[in-house]
Structure 1
Amino acid sequence: MTGKVFSREEMAAAFEQFEATVDRAAQTRDWDPWVAQYTPDVEYVEHAAGTMRGREEVRAWIWKTMESFPGNHMTSFPSLWTVFDEPTGRVICELDNPMRDPGDGTVISATNISIITYAGDGLWRRQEDIYNPLRFVKAAVKWCRKAEELGTLTDEARNWMRQYGGAE
């Protein structure tokens, strides 16, 4: 709990800015503005990667994750639905993680639930991402198989597939 209650309007405006910044980061592949939206002492809980504390831990993780396969093939992170819980300062949403077109217009994605706690002044003090990692692996494998079929599979994705997807 934040100790302070924020209005739905303030939280909604801050979340709209958060989404716009995340979208810009996905388009430019510059993850620093995304990280700058968190408080310096942010706690980021990512169930597969663990808990990160502070912007610098989050920054190192986000750059590594989003600049290697399959993260570097994710094109955006739009919210499919959002709930604002003013008493706790939390935004709860389902985020989509679509991957780039493998070459025939196919859309392959996986979703996660995120709980983001607002700190005020446009900053977020905590984020927890909840998802089944196997769904993300399944989506990435599906993308790799489709890209291989279409002749667009990158060497990085092929190597990932060998390591995690059961390919030869």
Structure 2
Amino acid sequence: MTGSTFSRAELVDAFAVFEQTVDRAAQTRDWDPWVDQYTDDVVYVEHAAGTMRGREAVRPWIWKTMENFPGSYMTSFPSLWTVYDEATGRVLCELDNPMRDPGDGTIISATNISIVTYAGDGKWMRQEDVYNPLRFVSAAMKWCRKAQELGTLPDEAQAWMQQMGGLK
């Protein structure tokens, strides 16, 4: 895509709303407002899950991902850095995915690069998440081991840990 008609200010403002909506979703665990920011025909490329076409294909995936361990233990998705590309209408950022405190103040997280393409009117027409899935598995396993050591490992995390072959 080239020849975007969106100014830098519009991209910055739209992405700020996007981030606020995602943060509110993380706090309330209501993922619909996040998904509602996408166009009806959004293309969402998620390298581990594949390519989803259409907002209603993305919705159940986000709900399932964020309501099951380890996604259900991620507390926010703040940008560590952001680049606005007016020429393409894209925003590129590195997102942190911190997990809740296992009980001793430890912060465990993994990051991903997200590339979102703006469609105008507060909607996004494409998102691509780029990351190494093994780094997320490693972070979640580290969290599980810390929680196990502290005696705070919940059943769903223990089941995930066992499924991933990490239970001792």
1:48 maps to which residue? 48
Q: Structure 1 92/158 Cα, relative in aligned 2: closer, same or farther at 3 Å?
A: same
Structure 1, residues 20-64: CA drift from partner, whole Å, max 9, x if none?
A: 000000000000000000001000000000001111110010000
Residues 95 and 114, structure 2, Cα contact 8 Å, conserved in 1? yes
Residue 79 of structure 1, CA deviation: 0.2
Q: Structure 1 165/78 Cα, relative in aligned 2: closer, same or farther at 3 Å?
A: farther
2:25 maps to which residue? 25
Residues 141 and 165, structure 1, Cα contact 8 Å, conserved in 2? no
Any gaps of 5 or more consecutive residues in structure 1?
none
| Partner SS for 2:19 | helix
CA distance in 2, matches of 1:127, 1:164: 28
Residue 165 of structure 1, CA deviation: 4.2
Residues 4 and 86, structure 2, Cα contact 8 Å, conserved in 1? no
1:131 maps to which residue? 131
Residue 164 of structure 1, CA deviation: 1.1
TM-score by length of 1: 0.98
Structure 1, residues 93-145: CA drift from partner, whole Å, max 9, x if none?
A: 00000000000000000000000000011110000000000000000000000
CA RMSD of aligned residues (A): 0.9
Q: Letter of the aligned partner of 2:95 in structure 1?
A: L
1:151 maps to which residue? 151
Residue 166 of structure 1, CA deviation: 2.4
1:76 maps to which residue? 76
2:15 maps to which residue? 15
Give the count of matched residue pairs.
168
Structure 1, residues 48-89: CA drift from partner, whole Å, max 9, x if none?
A: 000011111100100000000000000000000000000000
| Partner SS for 1:57 | helix
Residue 151 of structure 1, CA deviation: 0.8
Runs of 4 or more off by more than 6 Å in structure 1?
Answer: none
CA distance in 1, matches of 2:26, 2:149: 26
| Partner SS for 1:61 | helix
CA distance in 2, matches of 1:165, 1:134: 13
1:6 maps to which residue? 6
Any gaps of 5 or more consecutive residues in structure 2?
none
1:61 maps to which residue? 61
